[in-house]
Amino acid sequence: MSSDMQVFKLPDLGEGLTEAELVNWLVAVGDEIVVDQPIAEVETAKSMVEVPSPYAGTVAELHGEAGQTLDVGKPLISIARAGAGSGSPAAAAPAALSSGIEASPAVEAAAETYRTEEKAGSGNVLIGYGTPGGATGGRTRPRKASVAVVDRAAERVAEPAAVAEPVLEPAVAGTRIPGKLSAVISPLVRKMARDHGVSLDAIEGSGASGLIMRRDVEAAISAPEAPVAAAPIAEAPAVASAAAGAVDGRTGLAVSARTPVRGVRKAVAANMTKSRSEIPEATVWVDVDATALLEMRAELKKRAPHDTPGLLAFIARFVTAGLKKYPALNTRFETAADGSQEIVGFDGINLGFAAQTDRGLVVPSVRNAHGMSARELDAEIRRLTAVARDGKATPAELGSGTFTLNNYGVFGVDGSAAIINYPEVAMLGVGRIIDKPWVVNGELAVRKVTELTLAFDHRVCDGETAAGFLRYVADAIENPGGALADM
């Protein structure tokens, strides 16, 4: 029976993520499962996670294959209730979208399009995580209003006086345009229109039942600059030929491969683009004599070969001490919807560090690093590096940093014009440590020298603060014994 079928949709995995790649199924059709049993492994832009089932019963259908990218809010698995008949998945499907109204094919298509585009704040939350900032974060049942709203909107088009305005669920109520009964649009499309100053009242929706689509807003944005109808006609042949592996129109070279931008790479691209477009960054750097630090660590290693912190842990300790002295670099710059701006300070330091993995560059963070010793920092850095490389770091471990330390010296380079890890306001980079000529007490000597580079948001502080912090860390590296004694 269809009423005995439960459809579990891909939940919001935290951090506002809108999609995930299905890596592996942990169950098969016909398996008996219990509540909270892991059913699949999925890879998001943040990490690899196991998705637990909120239902118990028999697996009736798996909605996806390994390697497929699924949208948040789309069906993941269908589960027959324990003790229920073994009705077919096809017969059970309508129950998952039941709204009390039999929807026409056109309306069902419109509802499906709406669900595809409405990726922000799904309200369908993974056990153990939460939906950040959403008004519907407290929802305890699956959303069922989308079909009903679109269907009733279609009925109003046919019979305007016969049907009263429906009662909308909070998540959908904010997506309706007054005076346009059929214009039920996703929050993502509304945000695009708001960001570009486009009035949705002036847009005719091209979707079924008058649904305003992303393409409608994009057309309104570009209308003053280019003919709306000309662009798709001109671009279509180029897209088709490129997809077929033909010669690239701009370079004259054959296209050898097309790699979808997704997962970690997609998240990095979006974050770096936002950082470059929003943060007016400046950079300061200094060469540092790290000889004393290396000698101190070598001496410690003789005494405790298996319990000596790495160089990065010592530098991390100096960084947390420096941020206590220069807290402006441990903040966040926020702009409210009304245009007002604030610099948000934190009572503590979550120290992020860049870690290269097979999935791309990720930035796990040591939470409450300000209260840790160099040895404790070393242990936590090693643990986080391991879980990040295994793809098991949690969204909280990957998205809670307040300042980033980047050791790009491991790649054999001296310096870098780093891009700040948005929404943080500063990043310290450490280059490779190499032998260089250095003047010591008026005489030329060969010393172990590295370069420190600090990129900072010029909105939160001026060069004096940035230079003061950088010099503090540099002095600590050059005189580690005295610095550690004072911390």
* Chain segment 86-144, per-residue pLDDT in tens: 444 443 443 333 333 344 555 455 545 544 544 443 334 444 333 344 444 444 444 44
CATH topology match: 1-96 vs 264-486: no
453 and 285 Cβ atoms separated by less than 8 Å: yes
Mind listing the pLDDT tens digit for each residue in 381-409? 999 999 998 888 888 888 899 999 999 99
Q: How confident is the model at residue 84 (pLDDT cuts 50, 70, 90)?
A: low
What pairing do the DSSP bridges indicate for beta strands 434-440 and 426-430? unpaired
Pairwise pLDDT comparison (255 vs 228), residue with the higher score: 255
**In the block, residue with structure tokens 């001496």:** 299
What the block records as the tokens of 81 is: 């209730």
Fold type of domain 264-486:
Chloramphenicol Acetyltransferase (3.30.559)
Residue 182, token pair as written in the block? 């059929």
pLDDT of residue 191: 66
Q: pLDDT per residue over 404-430, tens digit each?
A: 999 999 899 998 888 999 999 999 999
The one-letter amino acid code at 426 reads A
Domain spans, the chain: 1-96, 100-225, 264-486
Please tell me which residue, 258 or 205, carries the higher pLDDT value.
258
Alpha-carbon distance values, 317 to 31, 320, 340, 414 (Å): 50, 5, 35, 21
Q: How far apart are CA 211 and CA 213, in angstroms?
A: 6
pTM higher than 0.85: no
Q: How far apart are the first and last CA of the chain?
A: 68
Residue 97 has what pLDDT?
38
Buried b (16+ CB within 10 A) or exposed e, 421-443: bbbbbbbbbbbbbeeeeeeeeee
Please give the DSSP secondary-structure letter assigned to residue 200: G
Of 46, 23, 14, nearest to 268 (Cα)?
Answer: 46
Asked if residue 209 lies in contact with residue 157, where contact means CB atoms within 8 angstroms, the answer is yes
Active site residue 196: no
Distance CA 454, CA 470 (A): 7
pLDDT class of 272 with cuts at 50, 70, 90: confident
Do residues 262 and 249 make contact, with C-beta atoms less than 8 angstroms apart? no
- Angle of helix 145-158 relative to helix 105-117, nearest 10 degrees? 130
Choosing from 63, 196, 306, 458, which is the catalytic residue? 458
1-96 in CATH: which number?
Answer: 2.40.50.100
What's the rounded Cα separation, in Å, for the pair 334 and 328?
Answer: 14
